[in-house]
């Protein structure tokens, strides 16, 4: 079985290293790592079409492990692995373990989730996995859970093609369980900080503080607050089918009737 690993925190990230170490403990698993050569957090699903992607292979000393650092985005790395380095599809893709959560509507900006989404677009069972903290992180539990879940996804029909996993940043004995969830909503306040440079030119720094919301119990944002591992199946199709019905029932303007 061939496992493809990637992330958006970069080739040297601790979360990726945790995945590699635990994957090497599984007999019969061949591992390919293709990850950005530097941090590419919040890069979304961007791909590089105006510049070449530089690739550097890293000597791992492990027979079952090949690693490549690429100058592109997380989505680039997945495309490169599947269509450039490999001669066929991997059996499983895991993106992470990300430093910090990827909850609710933040998945639209996440390089971690976008890499897994790219895998699903290419026909590969894919898992995005994140830990809900930015400091003093133990990536072990998240890596173990993502590998076990991902391997189960490859062993039979009926599994989703893409899941987003968020693991609470608590000792494993305090993890309350696993919840199958839907996306919640992430809201922020003080999103931009306005500053002026010594020449009086204005600039803005994007940041913000998360606003706590009373989210329903079945959301990923609520699950994390309850110390549950959230597992959210995602799909590629963003079509609003209710919207299709609503639009079909109305007379829309046509170009030759516009004034």
> Tens digit of pLDDT for each residue in 186-229?
776 667 788 898 999 998 887 767 767 777 889 999 999 999 99
Q: Is residue 146 part of a domain?
A: yes
pLDDT value at residue 242: 95
**Which CATH number goes with the domain that contains 111?**
3.40.1210.10
Q: Is residue 204 part of a domain?
A: no
Q: Identify the bridge partners of residue 13 per DSSP, sorted by sequence position.
A: none
Tokens of 23: 């994957």
Tokens of 243: 């919207």
Read out DSSP for 226-256?
TTEEEEEE--S----HHHHHHHHTS----GG
- Mean pLDDT score of the chain, rounded to an integer? 93
pLDDT value at residue 256: 66
pLDDT value at residue 157: 86
Q: Is residue 191 part of a domain?
A: no
Contact 99, 9 (CB under 8 A): yes
Q: Is residue 197 part of a domain?
A: no
The residue written with tokens 């173990």 in the block is 144
> Tens digit of pLDDT for each residue in 5-38?
999 999 999 999 999 999 999 999 999 999 999 9
Average pLDDT over residues 54-82: 97
Of 106, 132, 146, the residue nearest 26 (C-alpha):
146
- Tell me the residue length of the chain: 259
H or E element at residue 143 = helix 140-153
pLDDT value at residue 258: 57
Contact 168, 228 (CB under 8 A): yes
- Give the residue numbers of the binding site for a divalent metal cation: 8-9, 41, 98
The yes-or-no verdict on residue 88 having pLDDT over 90 is: no
- Give the residue numbers of the binding site: 8-9, 41, 98
The yes-or-no verdict on residue 137 having pLDDT over 80 is: yes
The yes-or-no verdict on residue 259 having pLDDT over 60 is: no
- Distance, CA of 70 to CA of 35 (rounded, Å): 6
Q: Structural domain of residue 44, as residue ranges?
A: 2-185+214-257
Residues contacting residue 103 through CB under 8 Å, at least 6 positions apart:
132, 166, 183, 184, 186, 220, 221, 224, 230
pTM: 0.91
Q: Is residue 235 part of a domain?
A: yes
Average pLDDT over residues 137-165: 95
Of 133, 122, 149, 161, the residue nearest 19 (C-alpha):
149
Q: Is residue 193 part of a domain?
A: no
- Distance, CA of 246 to CA of 244 (rounded, Å): 5
Residues contacting residue 167 through CB under 8 Å, at least 6 positions apart:
97, 129, 130, 131, 132, 141, 142, 145, 175, 229
Q: Is residue 63 part of a domain?
A: yes
Q: Is residue 17 part of a domain?
A: yes
Overall number of domains in the chain? 1
Read out DSSP for 45-100?
T----SS---EEEE----TTEEEEEESS-HHHHHHHIIIII-SS--SEEEEEEEES
| 9 to 17, 36, 74, 94, 184: CA distances (angstroms) | 11, 8, 9, 14, 23
Q: What is the CA radius of gyration of the chain?
A: 20
């Amino acid at each position: 079985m061939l496992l493809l690993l990637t992330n958006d925190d970069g080739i040297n990230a601790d979360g990726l290293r945790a995945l590699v170490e635990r994957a090497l403990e599984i007999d019969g698993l061949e591992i390919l790592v293709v990850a950005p050569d530097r941090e590419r957090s919040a890069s979304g699903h961007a791909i590089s079409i105006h510049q070449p992607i530089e690739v550097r292979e890293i000597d791992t000393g492990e027979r079952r492990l090949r690693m490549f650092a690429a100058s592109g985005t997380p989505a680039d790395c997945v495309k490169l692995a599947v269509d450039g380095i490999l001669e066929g599809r991997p059996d499983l893709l895991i993106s992470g373990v990300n430093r910090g959560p990827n909850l609710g509507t933040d998945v639209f900006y996440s390089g971690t989730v976008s890499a897994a989404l790219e895998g699903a677009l290419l026909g590969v069972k894919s898992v995005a996995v994140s830990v809900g903290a930015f400091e003093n992180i133990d990536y072990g539990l998240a890596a173990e859970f993502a590998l076990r879940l991902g391997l189960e996804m490859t062993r039979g029909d009926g599994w989703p093609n893409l899941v987003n996993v968020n693991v609470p940043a608590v000792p494993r004995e305090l993890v309350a369980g696993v919840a199958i969830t839907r996306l919640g909503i992430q809201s922020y306040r003080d999103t931009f900080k306005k500053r002026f440079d010594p020449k009086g030119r204005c600039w803005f720094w994007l940041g913000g503080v998360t606003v706590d919301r009373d989210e329903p119990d079945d959301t990923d944002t609520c699950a994390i607050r309850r110390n549950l591992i959230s597992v959210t199946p995602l799909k590629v199709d963003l079509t609003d089918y209710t919207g299709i019905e609503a639009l079909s029932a109305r007379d829309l303007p046509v170009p030759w009737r516009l004034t």
